[in-house]
Amino acid sequence: MNIILLGPPGAGKGTQARMLVEKRGMVQLSTGDMLRAARTSGTEMGKRVAEVMDRGELVTDDIVIGLIGEALDDAAASGGVIFDGFPRTLAQADALGALLSDKGLALDAVIELRVDDDTLVERITGRFTCGNCGEVYHDRTKPTRVEGQCDVCGSTDLRRRADDNEESLRQRLMEYYKKTSPLIGYYHAKGALNVIDGLAPVADVEASIAAVLDA
Ligand code: ADP
Ligand code: AMP
């Protein structure tokens, strides 16, 4: 199955994608992770997008469509692809449709995680991740068992994202409502949209997603 996890920053896309990877052998394609990796490795493209990302704006469609196009070839051979943070514009959605049909692949479901803005601010400002294995934590709702140490891999490289601050988040939310939320109507019209309550506890959201995938 190939699915899109759609929702604003902090909706829980990455958290749910990691569980789908572990339990269903799917592959997570996160354009945010790809762009952060390009920054860390210091590629020309990484340098070009760094400021845009820190401001909370979207990088250009060409860049992210190129990244997904490259990653899709390998991912397509897996148990399914989870698009996380892509598409984020109507142009990206059209490009994804074309890429999938070129490769003879289908889009099986679009899952929108719906969460209110106040909760998003609380989630984003408390988020940190393991720099080694990528496990996602939260200061209040999901702290590490041992302070300063990842529960999964034991690494002490716990990081906060440069754009996980209130100012950048305000811009990211604006971008979401202006450019990404029209995708809700786009996929609804295609009969692919499934709306899930993203405010529920992680395990309940996981069960709701499983119900869609197993339907
Ligand atoms: P996204 O990938 O959509 O930006 P994340 O999966 O990184 O969101 O989640 C953002 C923050 O919210 C993280 O700190 C995560 O631990 C927390 N979180 C995710 N899902 C839930 C949930 N259902 N209930 C409470 N906190 C959650
Ligand atoms: P994320 O990790 O999904 O929260 O993305 C972090 C940042 O990367 C965003 O605020 C954008 O600057 C950039 N980004 C990630 N995915 C996309 C995309 N599909 N289109 C444009 N910009 C993106």
How high is the pLDDT of residue 10? 97
Residue 19: CB atoms within 10 Å? 16
Q: How many degrees, rounded to 5, is the angle at CA 134 between CA 19 and CA 96?
A: 65
The atom number, within ligand 2, closest to the CA of 52 reads: 12
Residue 97, SS3?
helix
pLDDT tens-digit profile of 18-29? Answer: 999 999 999 999
How high is the pLDDT of residue 76? 78
**pLDDT above 90 covers what percent of the chain?**
94
Tell whether the model's pLDDT for residue 36 goes beyond 80: yes
pLDDT tens-digit profile of 118-170? Answer: 999 999 999 999 999 999 999 999 999 999 999 999 999 999 998 999 899 99
Pocket test for ligand 2, best of 31, 161, 167, 176 (most atoms within 8 A of CB): 31
Residue 85, SS3?
coil
For residue 77, what pLDDT band results from cuts at 50, 70 and 90?
confident
Give 91: exposed, middle or buried? Use CB within 10 Å, 0-12, 13-18, 19+: middle
8 Å CB contact between 145 and 36: no
pLDDT tens-digit profile of 98-122? Answer: 999 999 999 999 999 999 999 999 9
- DSSP conformation letters of 37-72: HHHHTT-HHHHHHHHHHHHTPPPPHHHHHHHHHHHH
Mean pLDDT of the chain: 95
User: How far is Cα of residue 116 from the mean position of the Cα atoms in its chain?
Assistant: 17
Tell whether the model's pLDDT for residue 64 goes beyond 80: yes
For residue 88, what pLDDT band results from cuts at 50, 70 and 90?
very high
Q: How far does residue 11's CA lie from ligand 1's centre (Å)?
A: 6
Active site residue 179: no
Active site residue 127: yes
For ligand 2, which residues put their CB under 6 angstroms from it? 9, 31-32, 35, 52-53, 56-59, 64, 85-86, 88, 92, 163, 172
User: How far is Cα of residue 144 from the mean position of the Cα atoms in its chain?
Assistant: 22
Strand 81-84 relative to strand 3-6, pairing: parallel
Q: How far does residue 47's CA lie from ligand 2's centre (Å)?
A: 15
